[in-house]
Amino acid sequence: MHDQETSVHSATSKDLGELGTERLVLRSWTTAEAGAVRAEGVPRPAGWAEDFPADGDRVIASLFDDNPAWLGAYGHRLIVERDSGLVVGSTGLFWPPSEGTVELGYGVVASRRGRGYATEATRALAAFALTAPGVHTVAAGVELSNPASVRVLEKAGFERYDAACEADEGVVHFRLTASPDHAER
């Protein structure tokens, strides 16, 4: 990965709803987009990759009504490919944090996998999450049966922890913790 890919910036200093990387834009979902993902038989927006939404995107969209904070700046985002302008997946924080830890999830449609997009989006959103007041750790759990997703977290700088649970749950737990100087901010 290039160093430029890991740099995160807001589109504007006031717009926390959009984060950018070298190849991606991570922008907050709108209620209309969530409705379109949930709806069956509704014409697809032109700005979606052919295979978006995936099953995981449908699950997340179905939970927005019960979790309105997920539509905010520290919630879930659509992953937009800069070159094409198409939505190619989603990533998000399961807000609010618990004891300084917030969980992160991600998914990229099959047609865009293998390009490093999930890693790039995960790095960007994790870095952003660690700037939130009171957040010192970003965590994620991945099924052992999904080695590609395990690699995403490893390449994004997350470390495995809680190995005792892996055999029982079939899940690998990862975390990224803020640097010690983060606590001084």
Digit-coded pLDDT (tens) for 165-176: 655 678 999 999
CA 119 to chain CA centroid, nearest Å: 9
Partner residues linked to 108 by β-bridges: 89
User: Structural domains in the chain?
Assistant: 3-184 (3.40.630.30)
The tens digit of pLDDT for each residue in 145-161 reads 999 999 999 999 999 98
pTM of the full predicted structure? 0.87
Strand (E) or helix (H) holding 121: helix 117-129
Question: What is the spatial distance between Cα 165 and Cα 171, in angstroms, rounded to a whole number?
Answer: 7
Question: What is the spatial distance between Cα 153 and Cα 142, in angstroms, rounded to a whole number?
Answer: 9
